[in-house]
Amino acid sequence: MKGNKVMYTYNQPVKILHGAGILEKLGEEAIQYGNKAFIVTGKTSAHKTGLIERVKEILLKSSIEYVIFNRAESNPLTTTAMIGAKVYKEEGCDFVLGIGGGSAMDCAKAIAFLTENEGDISDYIMGIKQGENAAPILLVTTTAGTGSEANSLAVLTNPENNDKKSLKHPSIYAKVSFVDPELMVTLPTRFIASCGFDAFTHCYEAFIANRSTPESAALALEGIEMIFENLVNVYHDPTDIQSFSKVAHANTLGGIAIDMSGVNLNHGLEHPVSGLLDASHGEGLAALFIPTFEYTKDKVREKLIKIGELITDKSATDDEKVESTCKKIKSILEEIDLNITLTDLGVKEKHINWLTENAFKTMNYAITNNPIIATHEDVKEIYKKCL
C-alpha cells in the first residue's frame, strides 16, 4: 500500500444555536439540564451591558434558579476554577452556564470538570491524572474569538509557575452553545480586533497544521475567507450585524478546526507570554504572527496558494497568490490596529530564555504540530524579532 496511513477522529457533539436574538431560547434549552444554574462570568463586561440581568430574567421565566460566580479572570486561573467547583457543590447546582468571552467559557468548562473529578486540575492538564465526567455545560459567547463554545478545550494558567496550558477532555464539550451576534456589538474595538485575530489564527493554524484533516482544513479555509471579508468591517462598524454574524461563524469554525487538528507555532509561543505577563492572548498572537508566518511560509506554499485563491482572480500566478496572502494578513493587522510588538505587551529581552523553556514545557505539542519544527534557538530568535 503506497503512502502513509492517515488516521483521525471527527466528533462534534455540541448543539450550536447561531443567529441574532437566539439567546431567547436559553430557557427552553437550559431547563433540560436542571433547575439551578451556576453562572460563570467575568467581573465587569456582562454586568455592564445588562446581559446578566437579561439572562436572569430568561432563566426565571423557565423556573430556573441561579448562583452567580463572577470571578473569571482575563487569563483564567486554575485556582479560580477549583474555588468555583467548591461553590458549585455547596450550592447544589445542576449545570454550569458560562457567559462571556473565551476566558469565562474556559473557566466554566474547567469548573464543570472539577465538579466530577477530585484534586488539582493542573494534574489533569499535565496528563498526570485522567478525568471522567463533567457537569452539564451551556455557553453563551459574547465575543467572536477563541471558539471555546465549539470545542473540548479550556485554557488555564497555573499562578504558581505561570504555566498556561489547555485542559482537553471530551466531557467539557458544551451541551448547548449560543452564538448571538447581537451580544457582541457592545464590545470595545480593541476586543473586536484581538478576538477576531485569535479566530483568524485558529483557522490559519488549523489549515497548515501537521495534524490537519480534510474536515478541519475545509472548515478553516471557510473561516479564513469569512474573516478576510468581514473583520475589518466589524472593527470599523460594530453595529454591522451581518458582518459580525459571519465573523462569529468563522470563530466557531476555527474552534471546531483546532479541536481536530490543534494549533501550532504561533499559539505555542504566545501562551508563555500571556501566562507570564497576563497579556491579551489575541494581542500576543498578533505580535508574534508575522515572524512565525515567515518562519513557516516556504514549507506551506501550496496552502498559501489556496488561501490566495480566495482573494485573487483566476489569472493570478501562484507567486501572486502567495504574495496576496501575505499582504492581506499584514493589511488586516494594520487596519485593526494590531501592528504591535511583544515590547508593547511588556516582554523584555530578559524574559526570552524563560519564555523559550516554558514554550517547550507547556506547548511542545503545538510546536511539533508546525510544518517546520522549531528548535530552542529558532524560538529564541523569533521572540527577539518580535520585540
Of 137, 162, 183, the domain-final residue: 183
Judge if 179 and 193 occupy the same domain.
no
Express each pLDDT in 47-79 by its tens digit. Answer: 889 999 999 999 999 999 999 999 999 999 999
Q: Is 367 exposed, middle or buried (0-12, 13-18, 19+ CB in 10 A)?
A: buried
Judge if 380 and 300 occupy the same domain.
yes
Residue span of the structural domain in which 205 resides: 189-385
Model pTM? Answer: 0.95
Residue 51's CATH number: 3.40.50.1970
Q: What is the mean pLDDT of the chain?
A: 96
The single residue listed with the C-alpha cell 450550536 is 16
Q: Supply 189's cell numbers.
A: 474595538
User: What gap in Å lies between CA 273 and CA 284, rounded to an integer?
Assistant: 7
Dihedrals phi, psi of 323, to nearest 5 degrees: -65, -40
Q: Looking at the 3D structure of the chain, how many domains does it have? A: 2
Mean pLDDT, residues 236-259 taken together = 97
Judge if 244 and 334 occupy the same domain.
yes
Judge if 194 and 164 occupy the same domain.
no
User: Is 3 contained in some domain?
Assistant: no
User: Is 339 contained in some domain?
Assistant: yes
Judge if 138 and 241 occupy the same domain.
no
pLDDT surpassing 70 at residue 3: no
Q: How many CA atoms lie within 13 A of 102 on its CB side?
A: 28
Express each pLDDT in 228-238 by its tens digit. Answer: 999 999 999 99
Of 183, 207, 222, the domain-final residue: 183
User: Is 38 contained in some domain?
Assistant: yes
User: Is 168 contained in some domain?
Assistant: yes
User: Is 177 contained in some domain?
Assistant: yes
